[in-house]
Amino acid sequence: MRIRGDWIGRLLGIAVFLLGVGILWVTFREAHQMFTAPLPSADKSLPKLGQIGIDILKKLGLLIIMTLAGSLIANKGVQMYFVALGVAPSRSLEKMASEVPTPERAEQAK
């Protein structure tokens, strides 16, 4: 017997996945623009060197946050799709982690 999934849930999962991929695309485009932009001239910007370094660190931090957000959103979209399809495991990671055999549990089982 084949389980029929929820089509609205699948469409929502695809939309969330595409949103995450879109965020990743914007992130990679911004990174490309950032690293292909010409660097400021050293003789004109020597007094501003600290500020330039801070600006670069801010941009790198923003790129890291955008990458994490995009990948987490895309991952959630994939999970939503498969849950709506009816093939994803219903157990959470916490339950699965609590079921990992430990030496104490192995002794109790004996």
CB 73 within 8 A of CB 20: yes
Is 72 within a domain?
yes
pLDDT of residue 42: 60
Write down the pLDDT at residue 16: 95
Q: Could you tell me if residue 1 is inside a domain?
A: yes
Residue 30 in contact with residue 65, Cβ under 8 Å?
no
Distance of CA 52 to the CA centre of its chain: 28
**Non-local CB neighbours of 86 within 8 Å, separated by 6+ positions:** 3, 4, 5, 6
The verdict on residue 78 lying in a domain is: yes
- Would 93 be classed as within a structural domain? no
102 inside domain: no
Q: Do the domain assignments include residue 100?
A: no
In the chain, how many domains are there?
1
Per-residue model confidence as pLDDT tens digits over 27-53: 999 989 988 888 766 666 667 778 878
Question: Is residue 97 in a domain?
Answer: no
Half-sphere exposure of 66 (CA within 13 A, CB side): 17
Q: Is residue 101 part of a domain?
A: no
Q: Tens digits of per-residue pLDDT, 1-27?
A: 455 668 888 899 999 999 999 999 999
